[in-house]
Amino acid sequence: MDIDNLPGADDVASIGPEALLDRIARGDRVPVLDVRSVREYDTWRIESESVDSRNVPYYEFLMDVDDELLARIPPSDDELVVVCVKGGASAYVVGLLEAEGIAAVNLEGGLNRWAQVYDTIEVSRFEGSGTLIQYQRPSSGCLAYMVVSDGEAAVVDPLRAFTDRYLEDVEALGVELRYAIDTHVHADHVSGVRALAARGAEAVIPKPSVARGVEYDVDYTTVADGDVLSVGGLSIRAVHTPGHTSGMTSYLVDERVILTGDSLFIESVGSPDPEGEGSAVADAVGLLYDTLDRQLLRFPDDVLVAPGHFSDAADPATDGTYTATLGELRGWMPTLGMTREAFVESLLSDDPPRPSNFEEIIDINLGRTSVDDDEAFELELGPNNCAVSEHPLTSD
């Protein structure tokens, strides 16, 4: 049976992914019925502290909509949001629920459309000689940044899926995109650095990453620890912060904001190096401790941390961005106050699964293999799994 063309699925109430994001962002309780398979649901789903998500596969609705089945649906004082992959099966289920007197709406385009939502928020605590914009992808927790100053711009950790979006934004701002920069060889999403380089930007990658076997089809520039790029009147200084990967490099913008990639998040720290296995992982965790202790935590308390990811355990700042000062992180993240031995032991006991399709994505980002845009989009669907723990307050 074609699940995207089930009978009776026409003309049901629906909600767009942007409107759903607004409901979630308001902090309202949002009941979500996910009608994909159990395997798909367990792999990734819409998550937030305000989302009450339940999984009942659509095929169970093909048999009999009885009281036992309805009891598995999340209760709601508001409209129930029903989701699937593309919006066909969920529309069919909405029709059945409406017949039972249950107020429900279908997520337009399903989770494929949800994965295309890309929000932008200006970092309010970055003021003066330039602008810092944070790009947020709620489906995966990926964050990217645009630094803008005096007619020039740089994008850090761009996603290939949103290449046109960055170019549209610099055009709207009336600036030139000078650099497309990666913090490391990503394992959870397909990088947009080469795509932007093909459209006129200068590709920039950390020098230590090249040793992993970079085979780009475009020219690129490398930066080592201490190297400085200029964007208008702003400086972007490379700070080598290995641990998550051997080449992981953070970028200190105007001595005020540090773009930490996957080294340090506002709710956790980066995962052990996905390049290694066995004892190599323990070595990577120790290296990450040294990076935090000798590099990142040596900056003043008022330096703002702007990470490469966020999870549903992260609370946004008052301006809506996922940022926090180093002083704030020291205050609420016990992991940062551990001894080296305790840090290594804690992180090794909480090693998350690797990102979906990480081997294929790494090969693409190294330039060893190529895929079209549709294949790239499919590969990176799902959670990022780049953080060790989503609940640092319980990690001591």
Handedness of CA 56, 58, 62, 65 (dihedral sign): positive
Residue whose C-alpha is closest to residue 346's, from 296, 298, 295, 282: 282
Identify the CA nearest to 204 among candidates 275, 156, 164: 156
3-state secondary structure of 54: strand
Reduced to 3 states, what is the DSSP secondary structure of residue 108?
A: coil
Contacts of 278 (CB under 8 A, 6+ apart): none
Q: Is 316 left (phi over 0), alpha (psi -120 to 50) or beta?
A: beta
Contact 221, 284 (CB under 8 A): no
Q: What sign has the CA pseudo-torsion 124, 125, 126, 127?
A: positive
Q: How are strands ordered across the β-sheet holding 51-55?
A: 14-15, 104-107, 80-83, 30-34, 51-55
Rounded Cα–Cα distance for residues 391 and 332 (Å): 11
Using CA atoms, how far apart are residues 17 and 24, in angstroms rounded to an integer?
Answer: 11
Rounded Cα–Cα distance for residues 187 and 316 (Å): 24
Selected catalytic residue, list 84, 154, 223, 252 = 84
Structure tokens at 241: 């912060």
Is residue 142 annotated as part of the catalytic site, yes or no? no
Residues tagged active-site: 84
